[in-house]
Amino acid sequence: MTDKMTPLEIMQKLISFPTVSSESNLPLVEWVEEYLGSHGIVSHCYTDPDQPKAALFAHVGPQVEGAVVLSGHTDVVPVEGQAWDSDPFTVIERDGKYFGRGTCDMKGFDALAIWALVEAQTVGVNRPLQLALSYDEEVGCTGAPPMIEAMQPILPKGSAVIVGEPSMMKAVTGHKGGYGYSTHVQGFEVHSSLVHTGVSAIMQAAKLIDWTNTTNAENWAKEPDAISGMFEPPWTTLHVGVIEGGTAQNITAKDCRFSLDMRVLPTENAASWRDAYLQRVRDVESEMQAIHPDTKIVVEQIFDVPGLKPEENGEAESLARSITGDNGSHVVSYGTEAGQFQQAGYSAVVCGPGDIAQAHQPNEYVTVAQFNAGHDFMKTLVQGLAG
Ligand SMILES: [Zn+2]
Protein backbone atom coordinates (compact mmCIF):
# COMPACT_ATOMS: atom_id res chain seq x y z
CA MET A 1 0.00 0.00 0.00
CA THR A 2 1.39 3.39 -0.95
CA ASP A 3 1.01 6.22 1.52
CA LYS A 4 -2.28 8.05 1.56
CA MET A 5 -1.95 11.30 -0.31
CA THR A 6 -3.57 14.55 0.78
CA PRO A 7 -6.19 16.13 -1.50
CA LEU A 8 -3.62 18.75 -2.48
CA GLU A 9 -1.03 16.13 -3.40
CA ILE A 10 -3.62 14.30 -5.48
CA MET A 11 -4.63 17.53 -7.24
CA GLN A 12 -0.96 18.32 -7.96
CA LYS A 13 -0.59 14.88 -9.52
CA LEU A 14 -3.78 15.15 -11.62
CA ILE A 15 -2.84 18.58 -12.91
CA SER A 16 0.61 17.35 -13.98
CA PHE A 17 -1.14 15.32 -16.71
CA PRO A 18 -1.92 17.76 -19.56
CA THR A 19 -5.26 16.14 -20.34
CA VAL A 20 -6.52 18.77 -22.76
CA SER A 21 -9.59 17.32 -24.52
CA SER A 22 -7.66 16.84 -27.77
CA GLU A 23 -5.10 14.63 -25.99
CA SER A 24 -5.17 11.20 -24.38
CA ASN A 25 -6.18 10.94 -20.73
CA LEU A 26 -4.88 7.39 -20.37
CA PRO A 27 -1.78 8.25 -18.30
CA LEU A 28 -4.02 10.04 -15.77
CA VAL A 29 -6.51 7.17 -15.68
CA GLU A 30 -3.71 4.63 -15.25
CA TRP A 31 -2.31 6.63 -12.37
CA VAL A 32 -5.71 6.81 -10.63
CA GLU A 33 -6.23 3.09 -11.16
CA GLU A 34 -2.83 2.34 -9.66
CA TYR A 35 -3.32 4.67 -6.71
CA LEU A 36 -6.76 3.30 -5.87
CA GLY A 37 -5.46 -0.23 -6.40
CA SER A 38 -2.68 0.37 -3.89
CA HIS A 39 -5.45 0.95 -1.34
CA GLY A 40 -7.37 -2.15 -2.30
CA ILE A 41 -9.93 -0.41 -4.53
CA VAL A 42 -10.74 -2.01 -7.87
CA SER A 43 -11.18 0.37 -10.80
CA HIS A 44 -13.19 -0.35 -13.93
CA CYS A 45 -12.58 1.43 -17.18
CA TYR A 46 -14.63 2.23 -20.21
CA THR A 47 -12.18 2.66 -23.08
CA ASP A 48 -13.23 4.76 -26.03
CA PRO A 49 -13.23 2.66 -29.22
CA ASP A 50 -12.03 5.53 -31.41
CA GLN A 51 -9.45 7.44 -29.40
CA PRO A 52 -6.91 6.85 -26.61
CA LYS A 53 -9.20 7.89 -23.77
CA ALA A 54 -10.97 6.14 -20.94
CA ALA A 55 -13.47 6.77 -18.19
CA LEU A 56 -12.87 5.22 -14.80
CA PHE A 57 -15.34 4.13 -12.16
CA ALA A 58 -14.97 2.41 -8.81
CA HIS A 59 -17.03 1.33 -5.83
CA VAL A 60 -16.15 1.22 -2.14
CA GLY A 61 -18.23 -0.36 0.63
CA PRO A 62 -20.90 -3.04 0.69
CA GLN A 63 -22.00 -4.41 -2.69
CA VAL A 64 -25.45 -2.91 -2.44
CA GLU A 65 -27.38 -0.27 -4.30
CA GLY A 66 -27.75 3.27 -3.00
CA ALA A 67 -24.19 4.59 -3.28
CA VAL A 68 -23.30 8.23 -3.35
CA VAL A 69 -21.55 8.80 -6.67
CA LEU A 70 -18.85 11.47 -6.95
CA SER A 71 -18.40 12.42 -10.58
CA GLY A 72 -16.03 14.69 -12.44
CA HIS A 73 -14.40 15.02 -15.83
CA THR A 74 -10.69 14.49 -16.41
CA ASP A 75 -10.27 16.69 -19.47
CA VAL A 76 -9.38 20.36 -19.42
CA VAL A 77 -9.56 23.18 -21.96
CA PRO A 78 -6.45 24.26 -23.91
CA VAL A 79 -3.96 26.85 -22.68
CA GLU A 80 -2.74 27.95 -26.12
CA GLY A 81 -3.00 31.68 -26.69
CA GLN A 82 -3.54 32.37 -22.99
CA ALA A 83 -1.11 34.46 -20.96
CA TRP A 84 -0.21 32.35 -17.93
CA ASP A 85 2.14 33.65 -15.25
CA SER A 86 3.29 30.13 -14.41
CA ASP A 87 3.30 26.61 -15.87
CA PRO A 88 -0.41 25.70 -16.21
CA PHE A 89 0.35 22.05 -15.47
CA THR A 90 2.07 22.68 -12.15
CA VAL A 91 0.02 23.75 -9.14
CA ILE A 92 1.36 26.99 -7.68
CA GLU A 93 0.06 28.36 -4.39
CA ARG A 94 0.03 32.16 -4.18
CA ASP A 95 -2.16 34.70 -2.35
CA GLY A 96 -4.47 32.05 -0.93
CA LYS A 97 -5.09 30.48 -4.33
CA TYR A 98 -4.01 27.31 -6.11
CA PHE A 99 -3.23 28.16 -9.72
CA GLY A 100 -3.17 25.59 -12.51
CA ARG A 101 -5.23 24.35 -15.45
CA GLY A 102 -8.08 22.38 -13.97
CA THR A 103 -7.71 23.49 -10.35
CA CYS A 104 -11.23 24.91 -10.65
CA ASP A 105 -12.64 22.97 -13.62
CA MET A 106 -12.42 20.35 -12.25
CA LYS A 107 -9.44 18.36 -11.11
CA GLY A 108 -9.69 19.98 -7.67
CA PHE A 109 -12.97 18.16 -7.17
CA ASP A 110 -11.62 14.99 -8.82
CA ALA A 111 -8.77 15.00 -6.29
CA LEU A 112 -11.19 15.44 -3.39
CA ALA A 113 -13.33 12.59 -4.73
CA ILE A 114 -10.32 10.27 -5.04
CA TRP A 115 -9.30 11.25 -1.52
CA ALA A 116 -12.82 10.49 -0.26
CA LEU A 117 -12.85 7.07 -1.90
CA VAL A 118 -9.60 6.05 -0.22
CA GLU A 119 -10.82 7.52 3.07
CA ALA A 120 -14.07 5.55 2.81
CA GLN A 121 -12.10 2.39 2.08
CA THR A 122 -9.82 3.01 5.08
CA VAL A 123 -12.49 3.81 7.67
CA GLY A 124 -15.07 1.38 6.31
CA VAL A 125 -18.54 2.55 5.24
CA ASN A 126 -22.02 1.11 5.61
CA ARG A 127 -23.36 2.97 2.61
CA PRO A 128 -21.22 2.66 -0.52
CA LEU A 129 -19.34 5.44 -2.25
CA GLN A 130 -18.55 5.49 -5.95
CA LEU A 131 -16.23 7.47 -8.17
CA ALA A 132 -16.95 8.20 -11.84
CA LEU A 133 -14.35 10.07 -13.90
CA SER A 134 -15.29 10.93 -17.46
CA TYR A 135 -13.54 12.51 -20.45
CA ASP A 136 -14.55 14.80 -23.34
CA GLU A 137 -16.79 16.93 -21.15
CA GLU A 138 -15.28 20.10 -22.56
CA VAL A 139 -16.08 19.08 -26.12
CA GLY A 140 -19.83 18.64 -25.74
CA CYS A 141 -20.22 16.27 -22.75
CA THR A 142 -19.79 13.28 -25.06
CA GLY A 143 -17.79 11.07 -22.66
CA ALA A 144 -20.27 10.70 -19.82
CA PRO A 145 -23.13 8.85 -21.59
CA PRO A 146 -21.03 5.78 -22.54
CA MET A 147 -19.45 5.83 -19.06
CA ILE A 148 -22.87 5.88 -17.36
CA GLU A 149 -24.01 3.04 -19.58
CA ALA A 150 -20.87 1.01 -18.85
CA MET A 151 -21.11 1.54 -15.07
CA GLN A 152 -24.62 0.22 -14.66
CA PRO A 153 -24.06 -3.51 -15.29
CA ILE A 154 -20.83 -3.50 -13.25
CA LEU A 155 -21.50 -1.40 -10.15
CA PRO A 156 -24.57 -1.61 -7.90
CA LYS A 157 -26.69 1.37 -8.88
CA GLY A 158 -25.98 4.57 -6.97
CA SER A 159 -28.83 6.72 -5.74
CA ALA A 160 -27.32 10.19 -5.46
CA VAL A 161 -24.82 11.71 -7.87
CA ILE A 162 -22.74 14.74 -7.00
CA VAL A 163 -21.15 16.31 -10.06
CA GLY A 164 -18.42 18.58 -8.73
CA GLU A 165 -18.39 21.36 -11.30
CA PRO A 166 -17.42 24.65 -9.66
CA SER A 167 -20.46 25.97 -7.78
CA MET A 168 -18.78 27.58 -4.75
CA MET A 169 -19.95 24.46 -2.84
CA LYS A 170 -23.59 25.45 -3.35
CA ALA A 171 -26.10 22.78 -4.26
CA VAL A 172 -27.10 23.54 -7.84
CA THR A 173 -30.20 21.67 -8.88
CA GLY A 174 -30.91 22.91 -12.36
CA HIS A 175 -29.44 23.97 -15.65
CA LYS A 176 -30.76 24.30 -19.17
CA GLY A 177 -30.08 21.70 -21.81
CA GLY A 178 -27.80 22.59 -24.71
CA TYR A 179 -28.39 21.36 -28.24
CA GLY A 180 -26.25 22.31 -31.22
CA TYR A 181 -27.05 21.92 -34.90
CA SER A 182 -25.18 22.58 -38.08
CA THR A 183 -27.39 23.38 -41.07
CA HIS A 184 -26.20 23.24 -44.68
CA VAL A 185 -28.59 24.83 -47.18
CA GLN A 186 -27.76 23.71 -50.73
CA GLY A 187 -29.23 26.04 -53.34
CA PHE A 188 -28.96 26.40 -57.12
CA GLU A 189 -26.66 28.86 -58.87
CA VAL A 190 -27.89 31.21 -61.57
CA HIS A 191 -27.08 34.80 -62.50
CA SER A 192 -28.78 37.03 -60.01
CA SER A 193 -30.78 38.73 -62.77
CA LEU A 194 -32.64 35.40 -63.14
CA VAL A 195 -33.25 35.02 -59.44
CA HIS A 196 -36.68 33.46 -60.05
CA THR A 197 -35.01 30.39 -61.61
CA GLY A 198 -32.27 30.00 -59.02
CA VAL A 199 -32.29 29.17 -55.33
CA SER A 200 -30.15 31.36 -53.12
CA ALA A 201 -29.00 29.21 -50.22
CA ILE A 202 -28.41 32.39 -48.22
CA MET A 203 -31.90 33.76 -48.74
CA GLN A 204 -33.44 30.39 -47.83
CA ALA A 205 -31.21 30.13 -44.77
CA ALA A 206 -32.49 33.58 -43.79
CA LYS A 207 -36.00 32.12 -43.48
CA LEU A 208 -34.74 29.55 -40.99
CA ILE A 209 -32.76 32.13 -39.09
CA ASP A 210 -35.76 34.38 -38.95
CA TRP A 211 -37.71 31.47 -37.48
CA THR A 212 -35.26 31.60 -34.55
CA ASN A 213 -35.99 35.31 -34.08
CA THR A 214 -39.72 34.77 -34.13
CA THR A 215 -39.47 31.81 -31.77
CA ASN A 216 -37.32 33.77 -29.31
CA ALA A 217 -39.87 36.57 -29.33
CA GLU A 218 -42.72 34.12 -28.70
CA ASN A 219 -40.82 32.43 -25.87
CA TRP A 220 -39.93 35.76 -24.30
CA ALA A 221 -43.60 36.71 -24.25
CA LYS A 222 -44.62 33.58 -22.32
CA GLU A 223 -45.38 33.75 -18.62
CA PRO A 224 -42.68 31.65 -16.87
CA ASP A 225 -43.72 28.97 -14.38
CA ALA A 226 -42.00 28.60 -10.99
CA ILE A 227 -39.07 26.50 -12.22
CA SER A 228 -38.55 28.48 -15.45
CA GLY A 229 -38.54 31.64 -13.37
CA MET A 230 -35.30 30.52 -11.68
CA PHE A 231 -33.40 30.80 -14.98
CA GLU A 232 -31.95 33.85 -16.64
CA PRO A 233 -33.62 34.35 -19.05
CA PRO A 234 -36.64 32.29 -17.95
CA TRP A 235 -37.31 30.90 -21.41
CA THR A 236 -35.77 28.65 -24.05
CA THR A 237 -33.40 30.55 -26.31
CA LEU A 238 -32.25 29.93 -29.88
CA HIS A 239 -29.07 31.42 -31.27
CA VAL A 240 -27.22 31.49 -34.58
CA GLY A 241 -23.52 32.08 -33.90
CA VAL A 242 -21.75 31.37 -37.20
CA ILE A 243 -22.80 31.73 -40.82
CA GLU A 244 -21.01 31.47 -44.14
CA GLY A 245 -22.15 31.26 -47.72
CA GLY A 246 -22.12 32.62 -51.26
CA THR A 247 -19.41 33.40 -53.78
CA ALA A 248 -20.36 36.60 -55.59
CA GLN A 249 -22.72 39.55 -55.53
CA ASN A 250 -24.42 38.45 -58.75
CA ILE A 251 -24.72 34.69 -58.24
CA THR A 252 -27.51 33.03 -56.26
CA ALA A 253 -25.58 31.28 -53.49
CA LYS A 254 -25.12 27.55 -53.92
CA ASP A 255 -24.19 26.98 -50.29
CA CYS A 256 -24.95 28.48 -46.93
CA ARG A 257 -23.99 26.94 -43.62
CA PHE A 258 -24.91 28.18 -40.18
CA SER A 259 -24.81 27.00 -36.61
CA LEU A 260 -27.80 26.97 -34.32
CA ASP A 261 -27.77 26.38 -30.62
CA MET A 262 -30.78 25.89 -28.41
CA ARG A 263 -30.71 26.42 -24.65
CA VAL A 264 -33.79 24.56 -23.55
CA LEU A 265 -35.46 24.88 -20.16
CA PRO A 266 -35.17 21.55 -18.34
CA THR A 267 -38.95 21.55 -17.92
CA GLU A 268 -39.43 21.52 -21.69
CA ASN A 269 -38.98 18.70 -24.15
CA ALA A 270 -35.82 19.23 -26.19
CA ALA A 271 -36.96 16.76 -28.84
CA SER A 272 -40.04 18.84 -29.57
CA TRP A 273 -37.85 21.91 -30.14
CA ARG A 274 -35.70 19.91 -32.51
CA ASP A 275 -38.81 18.64 -34.28
CA ALA A 276 -40.21 22.16 -34.59
CA TYR A 277 -36.95 23.28 -36.22
CA LEU A 278 -36.84 20.27 -38.55
CA GLN A 279 -40.45 20.91 -39.57
CA ARG A 280 -39.52 24.46 -40.54
CA VAL A 281 -36.52 23.06 -42.43
CA ARG A 282 -38.76 20.68 -44.39
CA ASP A 283 -41.15 23.52 -45.25
CA VAL A 284 -38.34 25.72 -46.55
CA GLU A 285 -36.83 22.78 -48.41
CA SER A 286 -40.07 22.10 -50.27
CA GLU A 287 -40.26 25.76 -51.27
CA MET A 288 -36.72 25.44 -52.63
CA GLN A 289 -37.43 22.22 -54.48
CA ALA A 290 -40.52 23.75 -56.10
CA ILE A 291 -38.08 26.10 -57.85
CA HIS A 292 -35.33 23.56 -58.51
CA PRO A 293 -35.34 19.85 -57.55
CA ASP A 294 -31.54 19.67 -57.02
CA THR A 295 -31.66 21.61 -53.80
CA LYS A 296 -31.84 20.46 -50.21
CA ILE A 297 -31.14 21.21 -46.57
CA VAL A 298 -28.99 18.94 -44.43
CA VAL A 299 -29.13 19.30 -40.63
CA GLU A 300 -26.60 17.63 -38.38
CA GLN A 301 -26.70 17.50 -34.59
CA ILE A 302 -23.38 18.66 -33.15
CA PHE A 303 -24.02 18.36 -29.44
CA ASP A 304 -26.74 17.24 -27.10
CA VAL A 305 -26.44 17.98 -23.40
CA PRO A 306 -29.68 17.34 -21.52
CA GLY A 307 -30.79 19.87 -18.95
CA LEU A 308 -30.83 19.24 -15.21
CA LYS A 309 -34.33 19.51 -13.86
CA PRO A 310 -34.79 20.47 -10.21
CA GLU A 311 -36.12 17.29 -8.54
CA GLU A 312 -38.92 17.23 -6.06
CA ASN A 313 -37.39 16.01 -2.77
CA GLY A 314 -34.30 14.99 -4.73
CA GLU A 315 -31.98 12.70 -2.80
CA ALA A 316 -28.79 14.19 -4.21
CA GLU A 317 -29.95 17.70 -3.43
CA SER A 318 -30.93 16.90 0.15
CA LEU A 319 -27.62 15.11 0.72
CA ALA A 320 -25.63 18.08 -0.60
CA ARG A 321 -27.76 20.50 1.40
CA SER A 322 -27.39 18.49 4.60
CA ILE A 323 -23.60 18.61 4.26
CA THR A 324 -23.18 22.20 3.08
CA GLY A 325 -25.99 23.68 5.17
CA ASP A 326 -26.99 25.61 2.05
CA ASN A 327 -30.74 25.99 1.76
CA GLY A 328 -30.94 28.40 -1.16
CA SER A 329 -32.18 27.47 -4.62
CA HIS A 330 -29.56 27.64 -7.31
CA VAL A 331 -29.59 27.08 -11.02
CA VAL A 332 -26.73 27.80 -13.41
CA SER A 333 -26.42 28.75 -17.03
CA TYR A 334 -23.72 26.23 -17.99
CA GLY A 335 -24.38 22.61 -18.94
CA THR A 336 -22.93 19.69 -16.98
CA GLU A 337 -22.94 15.92 -16.87
CA ALA A 338 -25.51 16.01 -14.07
CA GLY A 339 -28.33 16.19 -16.63
CA GLN A 340 -26.96 13.06 -18.28
CA PHE A 341 -26.95 11.17 -14.97
CA GLN A 342 -30.48 12.38 -14.29
CA GLN A 343 -31.58 11.24 -17.73
CA ALA A 344 -30.18 7.79 -16.88
CA GLY A 345 -32.38 7.65 -13.80
CA TYR A 346 -30.08 8.97 -11.08
CA SER A 347 -30.88 11.76 -8.64
CA ALA A 348 -28.21 14.37 -9.40
CA VAL A 349 -26.93 17.68 -8.15
CA VAL A 350 -23.99 19.94 -9.02
CA CYS A 351 -21.77 20.85 -6.07
CA GLY A 352 -18.06 21.53 -6.19
CA PRO A 353 -15.36 23.95 -5.09
CA GLY A 354 -14.42 27.11 -6.97
CA ASP A 355 -16.12 29.73 -9.08
CA ILE A 356 -17.14 29.01 -12.68
CA ALA A 357 -15.82 32.49 -13.53
CA GLN A 358 -12.28 31.10 -13.11
CA ALA A 359 -12.90 28.11 -15.37
CA HIS A 360 -11.18 28.14 -18.77
CA GLN A 361 -9.30 31.35 -17.89
CA PRO A 362 -5.55 32.02 -18.01
CA ASN A 363 -4.21 31.70 -14.44
CA GLU A 364 -7.19 29.51 -13.54
CA TYR A 365 -7.36 28.99 -9.78
CA VAL A 366 -9.37 27.63 -6.91
CA THR A 367 -9.01 29.43 -3.62
CA VAL A 368 -7.42 27.51 -0.77
CA ALA A 369 -10.58 28.28 1.22
CA GLN A 370 -12.85 26.71 -1.41
CA PHE A 371 -10.59 23.70 -1.76
CA ASN A 372 -10.61 23.25 2.02
CA ALA A 373 -14.40 23.64 2.05
CA GLY A 374 -14.51 20.82 -0.49
CA HIS A 375 -12.27 18.75 1.77
CA ASP A 376 -14.58 19.39 4.74
CA PHE A 377 -17.52 18.34 2.57
CA MET A 378 -15.82 15.04 1.77
CA LYS A 379 -14.90 14.42 5.43
CA THR A 380 -18.52 14.95 6.50
CA LEU A 381 -19.77 12.81 3.62
CA VAL A 382 -17.52 9.88 4.52
CA GLN A 383 -18.41 10.17 8.22
CA GLY A 384 -22.08 10.04 7.26
CA LEU A 385 -21.53 6.94 5.09
CA ALA A 386 -19.62 5.25 7.91
CA GLY A 387 -22.06 6.16 10.67
ZN1 LIG B 1 -16.07 21.35 -16.06
pLDDT at 165: 97
**DSSP notation for 36-105:** HHTTT--EEEEE-SSSS-EEEEEEESSS-S-EEEEEEE--B---TT---SS-TTS-EEETTEEESTTTTT
Query: Residue 7: pLDDT above 70?
Result: yes
Q: How many A from CA of 185 to the centre of ligand 1? A: 34
pLDDT at 334: 83
Burial 14-37 (b: 16+ CB within 10 A, else e): bbbbbbbbebbbbebbebbbebbe
Dihedral angle of Cα 321, 324, 325, 329, to the nearest 10 degrees? -50
Query: Residue 274: pLDDT above 80?
Result: yes
The three-state secondary structure class of 132 is strand
Q: How many A from CA of 300 to the centre of ligand 1? A: 25
pLDDT at 328: 86
Q: How many A from CA of 49 to the centre of ligand 1? A: 23
**Can you tell me the distance from the alpha carbon of 258 to that of 355, in angstroms, rounded to the nearest whole number?**
32
How buried is 78 (Cβ within 10 angstroms: 0-12 exposed, 13-18 middle, 19+ buried)? middle
Q: How many A from CA of 352 to the centre of ligand 1? A: 10
**Can you tell me the distance from the alpha carbon of 154 to that of 215, in angstroms, rounded to the nearest whole number?**
44
- How do beta strands 67-73 and 129-134 pair? parallel
Identity of the highest mean pLDDT range in 148-157, 223-232, 325-334:
148-157
Neighbouring CB atoms inside 10 A of 110's CB total: 26
pLDDT class of 327 with cuts at 50, 70, 90 = confident
277: phi then psi, degrees, rounded to nearest 5: -65, -45
User: 315-324 and 368-386 helices cross at what angle (nearest 10)?
Assistant: 120
> What percentage of the chain's residues is helix, strand, coil (to nearest 5)?
35, 25, 40
Q: How many A from CA of 100 to the centre of ligand 1? A: 14
Query: Residue 256: pLDDT above 90?
Result: yes
**Amino acid sitting at position 103:** T
Q: How many A from CA of 137 to the centre of ligand 1? A: 7
Q: How many A from CA of 168 to the centre of ligand 1? A: 13
pLDDT at 88: 98
Cis peptide before 353 (omega within 30 of 0): no
Q: How many A from CA of 213 to the centre of ligand 1? A: 30
Q: How many A from CA of 138 to the centre of ligand 1? A: 7
pLDDT at 38: 97
76-108 per-position pLDDT tens digit: 999 999 999 999 999 999 999 999 999 999 999
pLDDT class of 1 with cuts at 50, 70, 90 = low
Q: How many A from CA of 72 to the centre of ligand 1? A: 8
277-290 per-position pLDDT tens digit: 999 999 999 999 99
What is the strand order of the sheet 92-94 is part of?
A: 92-94, 97-99, 365-367
Q: How many A from CA of 11 to the centre of ligand 1? A: 15
149-190 per-position pLDDT tens digit: 999 999 999 999 999 999 999 999 999 999 999 999 999 999
**Amino acid sitting at position 327:** N
Beta-bridge partner residues of 58: 43, 131
Q: What is the mean pLDDT of residues 127-133?
A: 98
Q: How many A from CA of 124 to the centre of ligand 1? A: 30
Asked whether 65 and 156 are in contact (CB, 8 A), the reply is yes
pLDDT class of 253 with cuts at 50, 70, 90 = very high
The mean of the pLDDT values for the chain is: 96
Q: How many A from CA of 20 to the centre of ligand 1? A: 12
Q: How many A from CA of 147 to the centre of ligand 1? A: 16
Q: How many A from CA of 111 to the centre of ligand 1? A: 14
Query: Residue 58: pLDDT above 80?
Result: yes
**DSSP notation for 227-292:** TGGGSSSSS-EEE---EEE-S-TTB--SEEEEEEEEEE-TTS-HHHHHHHHHHHHHHHHHHHHHH-
pLDDT at 252: 98
Beta-bridge partner residues of 67: 158
Near ion ligand 1, which residues have CB within 5 Å? 105-106, 165
**Quick one: DSSP state of residue 312?**
T
Q: How many A from CA of 1 to the centre of ligand 1? A: 31
Q: How many A from CA of 38 to the centre of ligand 1? A: 28
E strand residue ranges, 149-219: 158-163, 172-175, 177-186
Q: How many A from CA of 233 to the centre of ligand 1? A: 22
Q: How many A from CA of 99 to the centre of ligand 1? A: 16
Q: How many A from CA of 136 to the centre of ligand 1? A: 10
Q: How many A from CA of 316 to the centre of ligand 1? A: 19
Q: What is the pTM of this model?
A: 0.89
Q: How many A from CA of 141 to the centre of ligand 1? A: 9
Q: How many A from CA of 62 to the centre of ligand 1? A: 30
pLDDT at 329: 85
Q: How many A from CA of 122 to the centre of ligand 1? A: 29
Query: Residue 333: pLDDT above 90?
Result: no
